[in-house]
Amino acid sequence: ISGSKMRIHFLTLTCTSQQVPAMGERGIKNHSEVTEFILVGFRVHPELQILLFFIFLLIYSMVLLGNIGMIILIVTASRLNTPMYFFLGNLSLIDLSYSSVVAPKAIANLLSESKTISFVGCVAQLFFFALFIVTEGFLLAAMAYDRFIAICSPLLYSVRMSRRLCIQLVAGSYFFGCISSIIQAIITFTMSFCASHVIDFFYCDTRAIQKIACSNVFINEVISYTLAVLIILPTIIVIMVSYIYILSTILKMHSNEGQMKAFSTCGSHLMVVSLLYGTVSFMYLTPASNPELGKAASLCYTLVTPMLNPLIYSLRNKDVKEALKSMLWRKKSFL
């Protein structure tokens, strides 16, 4: 009897010792088992999926056409070889990049039944989207500084806005974007995902992913909000201060033609800033109470803004229109 009791006690200890590590490793085990996520996308009737597919495809085609065309125009037109258009060319490249990170997968999922994205693909999508969207914020601040020097100190413009400084400003924008995206990717994908892998969004967004995590996301949310504030506030301050000085200088101009030209150039930039910062601030600095409203806001800066930026700068800018006419005339003469 004593031998039987000892064997039963030994088996109990053995089972307990095998179960404890499994319980302790629950989060890690479940996290390592995540191989893909499901992107819900837009909750609309199936009949509307096809309509949305063609609308988004049309918008994305215009994004590609407009931004690639703007880049080619700036690179080939000698009259656009200035700091302002150097920044504008990089803006078109960034618009094209972050839109392409999100749009193709979102468009394909509209007609797909599975709507899945691999774990690695989700990490890559979040990383590159954060990289380009943050880079654009800093680039818009650099463009505001460029306009400030051009209008408030025109005689020193060529000296202050040297090619070296322009390259440094663009490189710095990419640097801060890269640092931010690395932090976002790390804090997002080190979380544990225990049950649902369904992301209620049309791309891998940080806030949407945090909702399906089974670990404590308080610190992640604090870091995300802190990053958003550290990115948005300084760039907004630079833009606002620059335009306060610009407006003051424009109002002191005696030439109506000079005032109109300055207003036209700065107006284009302000429209772009308003479109991007308005929707991004609404998305990341307000409580996520309505997911569908958040998706609509995200559409503005992932598809609509990249589509409108080339139109805003080309339609409101005399130099761009003249360069486009010259390029088309040369092409016609060559044919």
Q: What is the pLDDT of residues 42-88, one digit of tens each?
A: 888 878 889 999 999 999 999 999 999 999 999 988 888 999 999 99
Q: Which of 29-38, 183-192, 278-287 has the lowest mean pLDDT?
A: 29-38
Task: Using pLDDT thresholds of 50, 70 and 90, give the confidence band for residue 232.
Answer: confident
One-letter amino acid at 215 equals: S
What is the average pLDDT score of the chain? 83
Distance (Å, rounded) from C-alpha 302 to C-alpha 304?
A: 6
pLDDT in tens, 196-205: 789 999 999 9
Distance (Å, rounded) from C-alpha 70 to C-alpha 182?
A: 30
Taking 90 as the threshold, does the pLDDT of residue 218 lie above it? Answer: no
Is 20-334 a domain of CATH 1.20.1070.10?
yes
pLDDT of residue 335: 57
Taking 50 as the threshold, does the pLDDT of residue 193 lie above it? Answer: yes
Taking 60 as the threshold, does the pLDDT of residue 268 lie above it? Answer: yes
- pTM for this structure? 0.84
Q: Assess contact for 217 and 210: CB atoms under 8 A.
A: yes
Distance (Å, rounded) from C-alpha 328 to C-alpha 110?
A: 37
pLDDT of residue 285: 65
Distance (Å, rounded) from C-alpha 266 to C-alpha 268?
A: 5
Between residues 235 and 215, the one the model is more confident about? 235
Task: Using pLDDT thresholds of 50, 70 and 90, give the confidence band for residue 321.
Answer: confident
Counting residues of the chain whose pLDDT is more than 90, the rounded percentage is 43
Between residues 20 and 107, the one the model is more confident about? 107
Q: What would the mean pLDDT of 7-22 be, rounded to a whole number?
A: 39
pLDDT of residue 1: 43
Taking 80 as the threshold, does the pLDDT of residue 334 lie above it? Answer: no
181-202 burial, b for 16+ CB within 10 Å, e for fewer? beebbebbbebbbbeebebbbb
Cβ within 8 Å of residue 249, ≥6 positions away: 151, 152, 262
Distance (Å, rounded) from C-alpha 221 to C-alpha 198?
A: 19
pLDDT of residue 220: 86
Q: What would the mean pLDDT of 131-149 be, rounded to a whole number?
A: 94
Task: Using pLDDT thresholds of 50, 70 and 90, give the confidence band for residue 181.
Answer: very high
pLDDT of residue 129: 95
Taking 70 as the threshold, does the pLDDT of residue 270 lie above it? Answer: yes
Task: Using pLDDT thresholds of 50, 70 and 90, give the confidence band for residue 275.
Answer: confident
Distance (Å, rounded) from C-alpha 69 to C-alpha 310?
A: 9
231-245 burial, b for 16+ CB within 10 Å, e for fewer? bbeebbebbeebbee
pLDDT of residue 31: 46
Closest CA to 303 of 54, 50, 64: 64
